[in-house]
Amino acid sequence: YALAIARELKLPATDLDSIKRAALLHDVGKIYEEFAPLLRKEGKLTPEEKMTMQTHVTRSAQLVATAARLRGMVEAMIRHHHENFDGSGYPDGLAGEQIPVGARVIMIADTLDAMTTDRPYRNALTLGCAIEELEKYAGRQFDPDLVRLVSKSASIRRLLGAEARPGPSTVSTPRTRPPTWAQRIAR
């Protein structure tokens, strides 16, 4: 999703490449052992567990920075992909344009993916419901300009396997997965 959003922004090829790399690696820090039980936990995290989980952004950025070609822009996008547009996010409390555009894109893409995928504690949401959630938090958690772009984006809907924006939002029953790229090519 991140690359599709970035393409719609008509960013230069080098920025697209950096966003693609950062999107693929944004949670790599969760590989560390202390995150395993938190990732498997079905209920809410305790305040202490939340604090531990929030360190994944800095752990991910540090891990990525060990590769020279990923230092700088990719590292910054990974570090800041949980910064909220209103400054209430983490790890540095950046707000608005202080947050790298790639990090703002990844935050929306990651959230869309999380909402439209089945979880142990809930079924996937419909695309319409997911977009309504983005719109609800535009300006607070998400960049409002990017939310508008995503909500109007035919390419995002195609990526999610929906040609048109669904009607009223409801929690869906477990959805069938969109066809893989290989299945699409075989058609």
- Write the pLDDT tens digit of every residue in 114-139: 999 987 778 899 888 999 999 999 99
Written as one string, the DSSP assignment of 120-135 is: TTBPPBPHHHHHHHHH
The full length of the chain comes to 187
Least confident span in 6-10, 89-93, 159-163: 159-163
Q: What is the CATH number of the domain that holds 17?
A: 1.10.3210.10
Mean pLDDT of 131-154: 95
- Does 52 have pLDDT greater than 50? yes
In a domain, 81, yes or no: yes
In a domain, 36, yes or no: yes
| pLDDT of 162 | 59
- Percent of the chain whose pLDDT exceeds 70: 85
Q: Provide the 3-class DSSP secondary structure of residue 171.
A: strand
Q: Rounded to an integer, what distance in angstroms lies between the CA atom of residue 64 and that of residue 73?
A: 11
In a domain, 127, yes or no: yes
Tens-digit pLDDT profile for residues 84-95: 999 999 999 999
In a domain, 187, yes or no: no
CB 78 within 8 A of CB 55: no
What is the domain count for the chain?
1
CA atoms within 13 A on the CB side of 145: 8
In a domain, 147, yes or no: yes
In a domain, 185, yes or no: no
Q: How confident is the model at residue 170 (pLDDT cuts 50, 70, 90)?
A: very low
Q: How confident is the model at residue 184 (pLDDT cuts 50, 70, 90)?
A: very low
CA 99 to chain centre: 14
In a domain, 161, yes or no: yes
| pLDDT of 101 | 98
Mean pLDDT over the full length of the chain:
87
Domain that holds residue 165: 2-179
In a domain, 140, yes or no: yes
| pLDDT of 161 | 67
| pLDDT of 186 | 39
Radius of gyration in angstroms for the set of CA atoms belonging to the chain, rounded to a whole number: 17
CB 8 within 8 A of CB 155: yes
Q: Rounded to an integer, what distance in angstroms lies between the CA atom of residue 58 and that of residue 75?
A: 9
| pLDDT of 42 | 82
